[in-house]
Amino acid sequence: MQLIPSLLAAAALTLGFSATAQEAAIRKTLAERIPQMEKIDEVQPTAMSGLYEVRIGTDIFYTDAKGNYLIQGELIDTRARRNLTEDRINKLSAVDFAALPFKDAFTIVRGDGKRKVAVFEDPNCGYCKRFERDMQNVDNVTVYLFLYPILSPDSAEKSRNIWCAKDRTTAWEDYMVRDKTPAAATCDTSALQRNLAFGKKYKITGTPTLIFADGSRVPGAIPARDVEKRLGESAASN
């Protein structure tokens, strides 16, 4: 009666060794042929038969079982309509909400402010302006606004004028919602440099980027109804 469990255990062990050998072979081949891939952090099979994920830091590549071909691009699950590469990178670059550098942001509080979201935005971002106008319809939320000047040469200047304003929230909303240019101002803007360094570390490549209290991350300007949904899900999980 012990035969079947023993056979299953032996099969699992064999598969484990086989997978490990496969990953080792891929590492060896890629490192030999592409010197930049000498330090691979992880190799694992994907949902697509015969395709393996190769991870270096938060960079994702794909290869065949022998490492003869290397793909740099996105893997899409057409049935689930999900970008598997994006999902994987978001997981790898997930941010602990409580560990965000809130001292480098300013807050916008609406209603009771119980629900929380952090947003990285560039004042020159047209999508951010649309997002901010839509956010006027979201109540009972605290928004931690991280200025993230990455789009244009004068993004840094506009971000500085907003960050150095006597009332940052008013200066921000005047510009983003009411198209009122902020007055010139100067102060210590090292917070903006730290925001850029933080974004580089966590692969924040576009604006707006939203991070909710449960750690979930959304790139792009989503409508107010989706923000409400995400805030509800985030509150339920905490």
Q: What is the DSSP string of 79-139?
A: TTTEEHHHHHHHHHT---GGGS-GGGSEEEEETT--EEEEEEE-TT-HHHHHHHHHHTT--
Cβ-Cβ contacts under 8 Å for 102 (sequence gap 6 or more): 144
**Model pLDDT for residues 112-162, shown as the tens digit of each residue:** 999 999 999 999 999 999 999 999 999 999 999 999 999 999 999 999 999
Domain borders along the chain are 3-92, 97-237
Ranking 11-15, 102-106, 142-146, 192-196 by mean pLDDT, the lowest is: 11-15
d(CA 179, CA 66): 56
Q: Do domains 3-92 and 97-237 have the same CATH topology?
A: no
pLDDT > 80? residue 10:
no
Higher pLDDT, 17 or 80: 80
| Residue 194 pLDDT | 98
Helix H or strand E segment including 52: strand 52-56
| Residue 62 pLDDT | 98
| 42-45: strand order across its sheet | 42-45, 52-56, 59-63, 70-71
| Residue 68 pLDDT | 96
DSSP classification of residue 14: H
pLDDT > 70? residue 80:
yes
Q: Mean per-residue pLDDT for 60-87?
A: 95
| Residue 2 pLDDT | 53
Q: What is the CATH number of domain 3-92?
A: 3.10.450.70
Higher pLDDT, 3 or 94: 94
Ranking 20-24, 191-195, 220-224 by mean pLDDT, the lowest is: 20-24
pLDDT band at residue 1, thresholds of 50, 70 and 90? very low
Rounded alpha-carbon distances, angstroms, from residue 31 to 35, 36, 99, 113: 5, 7, 35, 51
pLDDT band at residue 104, thresholds of 50, 70 and 90? very high
Mean pLDDT of the chain: 90
| Residue 235 pLDDT | 80
The SS3 call for residue 35 is helix
- Is CATH 2.60.120.260 the right assignment for the domain spanning 97-237? no
